[in-house]
């Protein structure tokens, strides 16, 4: 069979595209996903859970060999020691990131999308994308000009009366600091604190796969979903993509189509292009890959939101409990303006986590997770390690490559420290410390019985005498920097932030859309790859710049908008 559309990647974008393109019965659509299926009635309980901290660290749903550099890699000094590699929890399951992420349903700022248009993505300004954000959602709380009521993804907010004591205390600390309460973070984009908007209904996650690939959609005779299917190589006749070779449950198979769409995310989509000979000429020639289309922007200017954390010990009476109305651990957020030169309003974001992990110690540790909402670090890259399709690419995020991001995180940490020591939070927490997502933290976060029993023992000690708790935190939890050190010494604070800053799994911008004449653009405003035919990219990699948001809803919006463009093009052709 020759398909009309072959979609490689069944994540957020792929799920939307499969639904919308197959809604026209004349279209034969094939969706390929490397991970497992999540069919209705058989969604793993870890994915459905409104608390995401279990599934996020479950290796069954990851590309387990993917590791990345987050710190700056010096290319001017090839003899410099490379920074450490970190495991990167890239989803490998139908629904992609939306099946394992924190279910944060924020859109970003109107200024983000006006900047997209200014950078060459004509037709992607705020007024042009808002209808597609509304098309995505079914808002369970608000019915106004900002929100949709008929979308595939329900969104809601946990009411304040259901917040745990720690979340309530954090909100009170924000209020004391002068921030106003916003009932809707996706309404008017102003500074303030708010209940986090989540892609969730009846205390269950609604991933893109759950929302867009229900039984009715799966029952369409013109839609084929092939899971446990990893794309090996794009197929070309001349400069036209005519399909893909994939490995289906261990067996190699060839699929042919009129159009192929890469929806593999900002790390794997550029890797597929590079292996096909589409990318920077120097990189391709170094690996002996014939150049099919010289596109210097492929894999370049990779972005994420730089993030740090201030953590603390939660007193027993303020912790999450099994009897609480929700298992959610992030209930309240803060958006504020740093006032740093040139930054737009709302350029900083803080999420309050009233639990740091699934295990017994995680229940005792709260975190204020801060990230640079509007980052200026745009020097990351994805490049091939080899021509072997089974080998993960080299990924360098180069976070904090723009000093403005470092300076804002330093100022943010001091602001959060003042809030942490204010009366509301001091009443429910103690022993604040600068936290880092180290290998030690990651290892103990893997869901298994060993970690379950180990953390129970540690938790018992942490609930013991205060002096013992302080010693344990400084000896086994803190990674080289104490709270007093970073508060009294700016050099120590800078060193901590440079070492501890990670991204927040918002990889984007590595195949940017833009004007034809822009040498660094990879696709046009409908996702078509420059210089070849029959091939598009539709995922976070096409963002001209990462928005002030968790990227899942911007990806859903992007897929909805490009799906409309594809269907409009096919109508014209007919």
Q: Write out the catalytic residue numbers.
A: 506
Two structure tokens written together for 380: 């990351």
Return all residues near 55 (Cβ < 8 A) that are at least 6 apart. 44, 46, 47, 49, 61, 99, 100
For residue 69, with 0-12 CB atoms within 10 Å meaning exposed, 13-18 middle and 19 or more buried, which class applies? buried
Q: Phi first, then psi: give them for residue 282, nearest 5 degrees.
A: -60, -45
Two structure tokens written together for 9: 């990647």
H or E segment at 272?
helix 265-275
H or E segment at 415?
helix 403-420
For residue 459, with 0-12 CB atoms within 10 Å meaning exposed, 13-18 middle and 19 or more buried, which class applies? middle
The length of the chain is 574
Is there a contact between 367 and 353 (Cβ–Cβ < 8 Å)? yes
What's the N-to-C CA distance of the chain in angstroms? 21
What distance in Å separates the CA atoms of residue 518 and residue 366, rounded to the nearest whole number?
45
For residue 290, with 0-12 CB atoms within 10 Å meaning exposed, 13-18 middle and 19 or more buried, which class applies? exposed
State the DSSP string of 464-499.
S-HHHHHHHIIIII--S--HHHHHH-HHHHHHHHHH
Q: What is the CA radius of gyration of the chain?
A: 23
State whether residue 573 is helix, strand or coil: helix
Count of other CB atoms within 10 angstroms of residue 47: 23
Is there a contact between 402 and 376 (Cβ–Cβ < 8 Å)? yes
């Amino acid at each position: 069979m020759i398909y009309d559309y072959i979609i490689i990647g069944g994540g957020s974008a792929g799920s939307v595209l499969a639904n919308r393109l197959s809604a026209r019965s004349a279209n034969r659509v094939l969706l390929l996903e490397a991970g497992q299926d999540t069919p209705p009635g058989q969604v793993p309980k870890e994915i459905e859970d409104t608390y995401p901290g279990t599934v996020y660290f479950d290796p069954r749903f990851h590309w387990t060999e993917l590791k990345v550099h987050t710190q700056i890699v010096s290319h001017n000094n090839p003899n410099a020691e490379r920074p450490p590699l970190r495991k990167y929890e890239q989803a490998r399951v139908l629904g992609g990131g939306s099946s394992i992420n924190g279910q944060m349903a924020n859109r970003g700022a109107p200024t983000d999308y006006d900047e997209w248009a200014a950078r060459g993505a004509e037709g992607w300004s705020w007024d042009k994308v808002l209808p597609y954000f509304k098309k995505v959602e079914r808002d369970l709380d608000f019915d106004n000009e900002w929100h949709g009521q008929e979308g595939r993804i329900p969104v809601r907010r946990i009411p304040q009366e259901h917040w745990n004591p720690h979340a309530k205390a954090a909100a009170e600390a924000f209020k004391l600091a002068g921030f106003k309460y916003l009932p809707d973070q996706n309404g008017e984009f102003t500074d303030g604190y708010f209940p986090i908007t989540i892609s969730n209904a009846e205390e269950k996650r609604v991933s893109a796969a759950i929302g867009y690939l229900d039984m009715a959609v799966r029952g369409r005779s013109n839609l084929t979903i092939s899971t446990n299917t990893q794309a090996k190589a794009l197929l070309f006749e001349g400069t036209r993509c005519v399909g893909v070779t994939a490995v289906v449950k261990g067996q190699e198979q060839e699929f042919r189509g009129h159009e192929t769409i890469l929806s593999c995310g900002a790390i794997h989509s550029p890797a597929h292009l590079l292996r096909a000979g589409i990318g920077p000429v120097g990189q391709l020639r170094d690996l002996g890959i014939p150049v099919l289309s010289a596109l210097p922007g492929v894999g370049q200017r990779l972005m994420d939101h730089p993030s740090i954390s201030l953590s603390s010990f939660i007193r027993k009476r303020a912790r999450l409990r099994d009897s609480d109305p929700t298992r959610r651990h992030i209930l309240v957020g803060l958006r504020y303006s740093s006032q740093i030169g040139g930054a737009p309003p709302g350029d900083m974001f803080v999420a309050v986590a009233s639990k740091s992990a699934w295990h017994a110690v995680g229940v005792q540790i709260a975190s204020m997770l801060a990230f640079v909402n509007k980052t200026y670090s745009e020097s990351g890259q994805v490049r091939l390690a080899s021509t072997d399709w089974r080998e993960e690419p080299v990924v360098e995020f180069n976070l904090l490559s723009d000093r403005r991001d470092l300076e804002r995180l330093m100022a943010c940490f001091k602001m959060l420290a003042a809030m942490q020591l204010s009366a509301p939070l001091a009443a429910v927490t103690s022993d604040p410390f600068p936290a880092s997502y180290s290998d030690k933290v990651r290892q103990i976060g893997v869901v298994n019985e060993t970690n379950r029993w180990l953390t129970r023992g540690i938790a018992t000690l942490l609930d013991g005498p205060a002096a013992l708790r302080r010693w344990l935190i400084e000896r086994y939890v803190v990674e080289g920097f104490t709270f007093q050190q970073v508060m009294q010494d700016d050099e120590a604070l800078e060193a901590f932030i440079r070492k501890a800053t990670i991204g927040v799994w918002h990889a984007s911008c590595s195949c940017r859309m833009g004007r034809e004449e822009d040498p660094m653009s990879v696709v046009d405003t409908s996702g078509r790859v420059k210089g070849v035919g029959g091939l598009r990219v539709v995922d976070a990699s096409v963002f001209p710049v990462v928005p002030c948001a968790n990227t899942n809803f911007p990806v859903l919006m992007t897929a909805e908008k490009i799906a409309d463009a594809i269907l409009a093009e096919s109508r014209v052709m007919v």
